[in-house]
């Protein structure tokens, strides 16, 4: 490695001179810029070749993906398969504010994701080389002054994206070769969106958007809290607007029929909050959720939790919502309402990999509030000293957020949002 870097330092000025002299002739003269294969990511040759770019350079997008201003007239015609989309809204939060900076923080934490190309070892896949077009669509414009208006903006922004045509066709079943048909209720093949929150309130408008394509949807929800609270229990007293917040949005989603209800196919994970009383669980049952308590990691383990989730959602289209507070604050302190006794980053990532093969139609990660990331500098120093393994090193404590999404992205790119036509006829 040291030898390679030395080579770059010596070779760089010479090569730049050569390029100045005659731009467009020989392939070798493209060095060093020839190594950077935008728009996807800096592409590192490895295996004996030099590393040509630094992972900390450039404009920060998620995983250094190309930035498309999807919601501006200029970007409105750009097709994609999976988009990262920020929703910087945090005026529905009950305790620590700051998740409006979540999208920016998560992007900053994600820069190393493609350092060596982005191959996911346990899932044996590289989501960035899957052939699917993955972009960073920037942020939805969200007003910080009017929650009612902001929630409409989030729904509209998300819906605009999932209702666009995809870049890639749905393709054929990898086993039988039969053509796949969409699993949506409108019969269309929709692109997927991974939303970077924002506080958890954003999931109400996101589920309204999802409903437009998939109807009532199964939900996998990782959180230390229920978020199905009745407004009378959780902050709703002052006004109708106060009744829609990051502890009640699933109550409203259930009331509006956005969640597949009555057949127990939504699933919470990592629950460990205190309650107003046992009635909160009854209310949660009524909203259609099954619960997995955080402490079950000690009894049924990661495999048992994966099994429970898979049995609950089956092969239904599913929306995945991850509250970063499902991870223990020891690993992820930068969140609005931290609860001790949570899962480790390693455990949540293993559980997410266990969702491989499920039809995840879209996803989010919420409640990342970078202002409380007070240990970041310490982690950076410790990381620099300890290891070069990308799955062990944390450049900052924000790293769990992008790593979690790396698992989600890997699972998504492995499984197309379709089923074989013969099977759909049987249903």
Binding range to Mn ion, per CB under 5 A, among 39-47, 55-63, 132-140, 218-226 = 218-226
Total binding residues toward Mn ion, as defined by CB under 5 A: 4
Rounded Cα–Cα distance for residues 254 and 69 (Å): 32
Binding range to Mn ion, per CB under 5 A, among 50-58, 322-330, 349-357, 391-399 = 322-330
Eight-class DSSP state of 216 = S
Rounded Cα–Cα distance for residues 200 and 253 (Å): 12
* 323 versus 364: smaller Cβ distance to Mn ion: 323
Least gap, CB of 325 to Mn ion (angstroms): 7
Structural element, H or E, at residue 75: none
* 35 versus 372: smaller Cβ distance to Mn ion: 372
Binding range to Mn ion, per CB under 5 A, among 75-83, 301-309, 318-326, 328-336 = 318-326
* 99 versus 316: smaller Cβ distance to Mn ion: 99
Least gap, CB of 228 to Mn ion (angstroms): 10
* 245 versus 394: smaller Cβ distance to Mn ion: 245
| Contact characters 111-150, Mn ion, x per CB under 5 A | ----------------------------------------
Rounded Cα–Cα distance for residues 359 and 417 (Å): 6
Six-digit token string for 115? 């350092």
Beta bridge partners of 217: 259
> 3-state DSSP call for residue 422?
helix
Least gap, CB of 287 to Mn ion (angstroms): 14
Q: For Mn ion, which residue of 90, 227, 347, 395 counts as binding (CB under 5 A)?
A: 227
238-to-7, 125, 234, 244, 247 alpha-carbon distances in Å: 66, 50, 11, 11, 15
Least gap, CB of 303 to Mn ion (angstroms): 25
Binding range to Mn ion, per CB under 5 A, among 173-181, 226-234, 282-290, 410-418 = 226-234
* 41 versus 218: smaller Cβ distance to Mn ion: 218
Rounded Cα–Cα distance for residues 71 and 137 (Å): 8
Q: Return all residues near 79 (Cβ < 8 A) that are at least 6 apart.
A: 133, 164, 165, 166, 167, 191
Which letter, b or e, does each residue of 112-144 get, where b requires 16 or more Cβ atoms within 10 Å of its Cβ? bbbbebbebeebebebbebebbbbbbbbbebee
Q: For Mn ion, which residue of 90, 155, 223, 364 counts as binding (CB under 5 A)?
A: 223
* 155 versus 199: smaller Cβ distance to Mn ion: 199
* 34 versus 235: smaller Cβ distance to Mn ion: 235
Q: Assign residue 270 a region: left if phi > 0, alpha if psi is -120 to 50, beta otherwise?
A: left
Q: Which of residues 151-210 bind Mn ion (CB under 5 A)?
A: 200
Residue 234: φ, ψ to 5°: -125, 85
> 3-state DSSP call for residue 290?
strand
* 60 versus 94: smaller Cβ distance to Mn ion: 94
Least gap, CB of 140 to Mn ion (angstroms): 19
* 180 versus 334: smaller Cβ distance to Mn ion: 334
Q: For Mn ion, which residue of 136, 284, 323, 339 counts as binding (CB under 5 A)?
A: 323
Least gap, CB of 201 to Mn ion (angstroms): 9
Least gap, CB of 110 to Mn ion (angstroms): 21
Rounded Cα–Cα distance for residues 264 and 287 (Å): 9
Binding site for Mn ion (CB under 5 A): 200, 223, 227, 323
């Amino acid at each position: 490695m040291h030898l390679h870097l030395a080579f770059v330092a010596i070779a760089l000025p010479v090569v730049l001179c050569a390029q100045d002299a005659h731009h467009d002739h020989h392939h070798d003269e493209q060095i060093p810029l020839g190594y950077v294969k935008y728009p996807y990511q800096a592409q590192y040759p490895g295996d004996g070749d030099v590393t040509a770019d630094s992972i900390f350079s450039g404009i920060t997008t998620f995983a250094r993906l190309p930035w498309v201003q999807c919601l501006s007239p200029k970007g409105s015609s750009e097709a994609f398969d999976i988009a990262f989309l920020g929703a910087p809204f945090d005026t529905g939060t009950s305790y620590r504010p700051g998740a409006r900076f979540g999208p920016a923080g998560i992007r900053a934490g994600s820069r190393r994701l493609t350092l060596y190309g982005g191959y996911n070892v346990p899932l044996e896949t590289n989501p960035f080389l899957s052939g699917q077009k993955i972009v960073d669509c920037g942020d939805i414009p969200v007003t910080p002054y009017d929650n009612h208006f902001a929630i409409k903006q989030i729904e509209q922004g998300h819906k605009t994206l999932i209702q666009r045509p995809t870049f890639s066709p749905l393709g054929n079943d990898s086993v039988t070769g039969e053509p796949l048909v969409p699993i949506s209720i409108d019969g269309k093949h929709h692109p997927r969106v991974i939303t970077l929150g924002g506080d958890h309130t954003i999931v109400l408008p996101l589920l309204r958007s999802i409903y437009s394509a998939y109807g009532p949807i199964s939900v996998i929800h990782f959180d230390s809290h229920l978020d199905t609270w009745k407004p009378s229990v959780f902050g709703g007293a002052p006004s109708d607007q106060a009744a829609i917040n990051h502890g009640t949005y699933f109550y409203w989603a259930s009331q509006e029929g956005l969640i597949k209800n009555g057949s127990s196919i939504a699933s919470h994970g990592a629950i460990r909050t205190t309650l107003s009383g046992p009635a909160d669980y009854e209310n949660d049952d009524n909203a259609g959720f099954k619960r997995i308590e955080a402490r079950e990691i000690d009894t049924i383990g990661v495999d048992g939790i994966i099994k429970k989730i898979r049995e609950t959602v089956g092969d239904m289209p599913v929306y995945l919502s991850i509250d970063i507070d499902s991870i223990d604050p020891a690993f992820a302190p930068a969140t609005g309402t931290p609860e001790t006794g949570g899962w480790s980053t390693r455990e949540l990532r293993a559980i997410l990999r266990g969702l491989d093969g499920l039809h995840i139609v879209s996803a989010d990660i919420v409640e990342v509030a970078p202002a409380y990331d007070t240990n970041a500098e310490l982690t950076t120093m410790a990381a620099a000293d300890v290891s070069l393994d990308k799955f062990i090193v944390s450049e900052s404590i924000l790293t769990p957020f992008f790593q979690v999404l790396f698992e989600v992205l890997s699972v998504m790119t492995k499984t197309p949002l379709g089923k074989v036509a013969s099977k759909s006829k049987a249903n």
